[in-house]
Amino acid sequence: MSVVDTFTRPGEAKGEIPFSERGPASIESVAGFGFWLFLLSDVVMFSALFAAYAVLSNHTAGGPDGAKLFDRGFVLLETMCLLLSSFTCGLMALAIERKSAPATYLWAAVTFALGAAFLGLEISEFLRMIGEGASPTRSAFLSAFFTLVGTHGLHVTLGLFWLLAMMAQVATLGFLPIVVRRLLCFTLFWHALDIVWVGVFTIVYLGGLA
């Protein structure tokens, strides 16, 4: 094709096929973009819980407040578990790209273990607080706290089950395009949970809005 290049838009190299003639996007792009939109809508849902927490965080109804209940060393440990699991999840994505099943299983196992450790720490923290009389029914502050942090914990739990299901699919189906797409969506989900956790530890545990 020796057509004179009269219209090259920004982002198109000279002589490249123009955007308008490229046809529909590949299924990988569509699935990934759709899941990205879902994640953003999930973050919007979390923002409503964050707003509720921010409004209610001072309404302790004479009960214990955050400074009395939260142990920052413990939260740092939880944060490190989740952060490292996000990293190993990235390494799992690289192993999937290489189509290496042993490396995928290895990093999935490490991700699962770190995620489960995070969840265990969180549940033990919740039980300790409830044992000290700081249950969700005690005050508006505690209701908001358990809703926000509990919803995040629920997401982590779902993520762990999802990871197990994906490993079963890799074992039975192998690296089919559809399995790889689902694995990609899982890694995005797991990274998104870490972003939400950054908001949680800043606003809830470190009192970023005080």
Partner 1 sequence: MSDHDSAASVAQGHAPGTAHVRRGSFLKYLTGLCFAIVLTFASFWAAETHLVWGPGVPVLLAALAIAQMGVHVVFFFHISTGPDDTNNFLALAFGVFVVGLVVFGSMLIMSNLDASMMTIDKLMQMQR
**Binding of residue 32 to partner 1 (CB under 8 A):** yes
Residue 6 to residue 107: CA distance in whole angstroms:
50
Q: Which range, of 26-34, 108-116, 160-168, 169-177, touches partner 1 by CB under 8 A?
A: 26-34
Residues in the chain: 210
**Binding of residue 28 to partner 1 (CB under 8 A):** yes
Q: Which residues, numbered 116-145, are part of the site for partner 1 (CB under 8 A)?
A: none
Report the residue from 5, 8, 36, 99 that binds partner 1 according to the rule CB under 8 A. Answer: 36
CB of 31 or CB of 179, closer to partner 1: 31
CB of 65 or CB of 194, closer to partner 1: 194
Sequential DSSP letters for the chain: ---------TT--TTSPPGGGS-SPPHHHHHHHHHHHHHHHHHHHHHHHHHHHHHHTT--TTS--HHHH--HHHHHHHHHHHHHHHHHHHHHHHHHHTT-HHHHHHHHHHHHHHHHHHHHHHHHHHHHHHHTT--TTS-HHHHHHHHHHHHHHHHHHHHHHHHHHHHHHHHHH-S-HHHHHHHHHHHHHHHHHHHHHHHHIIIIIS-TT-
* Sole residue written with tokens 């450790």: 117
CB of 44 or CB of 172, closer to partner 1: 44
Report the residue from 110, 151, 162, 194 that binds partner 1 according to the rule CB under 8 A. Answer: 194
Q: Nearest approach, Cβ of 132 to partner 1 (angstroms)?
A: 22
Q: Nearest approach, Cβ of 11 to partner 1 (angstroms)?
A: 3
**Binding of residue 65 to partner 1 (CB under 8 A):** no
Residue 71 to residue 74: CA distance in whole angstroms:
5
**Binding of residue 177 to partner 1 (CB under 8 A):** no
The footprint of partner 1 (CB under 8 A) covers 1, 10-12, 17, 19, 21-26, 28-33, 35-37, 40-41, 43-44, 47-48, 50-52, 54-55, 72, 76, 79-80, 83-84, 86-87, 90-91, 93-94, 97, 184, 187-188, 191, 194-195, 198-199, 201-203, 206-210
